[in-house]
A and B are shown apart, each in its own frame.
Chain A
Amino acid sequence: MATRRTCLWKRGVKVSETFEMEIFRYYPDKDNEPFIKSYEVPFRDDWVVLDAINYIKDEIDGTLSYRWSCRMGVCGSCGMMVNSVPKLTCSAFLKDYPSRKIRVEPLQGFPVERDLIFDMDDFMNKLTEVKPYLLRKEGEEKPLEEGEYLQSPAELAHYKQYTLCINCMLCYAACPIYALDSNFVGPAAIALAQRYNLDSRDQGRNQRQEVIASHEGIWECTFVGECSVVCPKDVDPAAAIQRAKVSSTLDWFKEKMIPRSKG
């Protein structure tokens, strides 16, 4: 079974039915504006949308550009809008679209670079903004020879869910707040901040709060919850944001009521 999925149609499998793929095309050097191009591909029960797109690239139109890598929902590269819903195209089966026709577009809310490829710089900057790594207070970092920071399974369970994010950006494409205002730090980045805030080895919450508790952080979110609906890894960023709201509200009251306390 080492054969690539994309080569299945070459293995003498009889294909009688077809599937219509409407693909968003845009080549900024040549096209004044994006357009939709329709392609007819073979329909196979075990094909996912990415297989159909690979078929187009290999057999029909080599100029089609898109991102993909692992084909098994781990790398987070192949997120696209399928019939206006953010999906990992490697996990969306053709057979789940009984009308035998779908429209594939780049993830919504990001500037398009070419065809299905969008510019992810904004997201990358937001990831670094929330300092997604273990931070220790000054002077509390253990010297290397003392070994690692130990953690119990219960402590791991506090944040494990938020480690499962694959940065596929489906949550940003689903978020109406991000679509209206791209200053919003956004679901995945806040969930990632929570992942470190809830880690028993970490002491960097105060540093992250500068971004998280700002207006562009959690307070922009109105709990629409679509981020958690589309998340392919059940990270539940909406819950992460609401939890951060509760703890930031407690912080706020502490800071205002007891002015000298610092977190």
Chain B
Amino acid sequence: MSKSNEPVLWFLFSAGGMISAMVFPILLIITGVILPFELAGEVTFERIHNAVKNPVVKLVLFFVIALPFFHWAHRFRFTLIDIGLKPISFLVSLLCYGGAITGTIVAAFILWKI
């Protein structure tokens, strides 16, 4: 048996899971409660735009968006394999991680443009 190269995928998966678990609840409160009910002052396009323009916010958003893509890809890949798609596992991996990489690139591009 040889050592697997799975660790790099698992690392992205676990980092994504950690981010989802720790940051998403906070984001839900901010975007689902605080902003719509204007609990932290008036919400205008300018204000949000300026906040997202900040490079630190961009960096945080990049990881918050990209890593959960890889979390999804890893989990979905194993879900598909477990329901019987093991014979085409290479294609499954290609679609899952390919999707995550595409999502990451799109997110990076959009954040760059802001």
Contact = CB atoms under 8 A, between A and B. Distances in A.
B83 to A, nearest CB: 10
A216 interface: yes
Interface stretch (B3-11, B28-36, B57-65, B97-105): B3-11
B3 A209 contact: yes
A97 interface: no
B82 interface: yes
Interface string A228-263: 000000000000000001101101110000000000
Q: Is the interface of B mostly helix, strand, loop or mixed?
A: helix
Given A210-B1, A249-B11, A215 B82 contact: no
Interface string A210-235: 11011111010010000000000000
B2 interface: yes
Contacts of A213: 3-4, 7
Contacts of A246: 14
B3 to A, nearest CB: 5
A248 B6 CA distance: 10
A253 B5 CA distance: 10
Contact of B4 (A181, A219, A222): A219
B1 A214 contact: yes
A72 B9 CA distance: 43
Given A176-B82, A180-B82, A219 B2 contact: no
Given A176-B82, A222-B78, A222-B82, A216 B1 contact: yes
- What size tier do the contact residues of chain B reach? 10 to 19
Contacts of A215: 1, 4, 6
Contacts, number: 47
B7 A253 contact: yes
A108 to B, nearest CB: 16
A249 B3 contact: no
A219 B8 CA distance: 11
Contacts of A210: 1-3
A192 B3 CA distance: 19
A214 B2 contact: yes
Interface in A199-215: 209-211, 213-215
B4 A214 contact: yes
Nearest to A210: B1
B56 to A, nearest CB: 26
Interface of A: 176-177, 180-181, 209-211, 213-217, 219, 222, 245-246, 248-249, 251-253
Given A181-B86, A252-B3, 15 more contacts: A180-B86, A210-B1, A211-B1, A213-B4, A213-B7, A214-B1, A214-B3, A214-B4, A215-B1, A215-B4, A217-B4, A222-B75, A249-B10, A249-B11, A252-B8
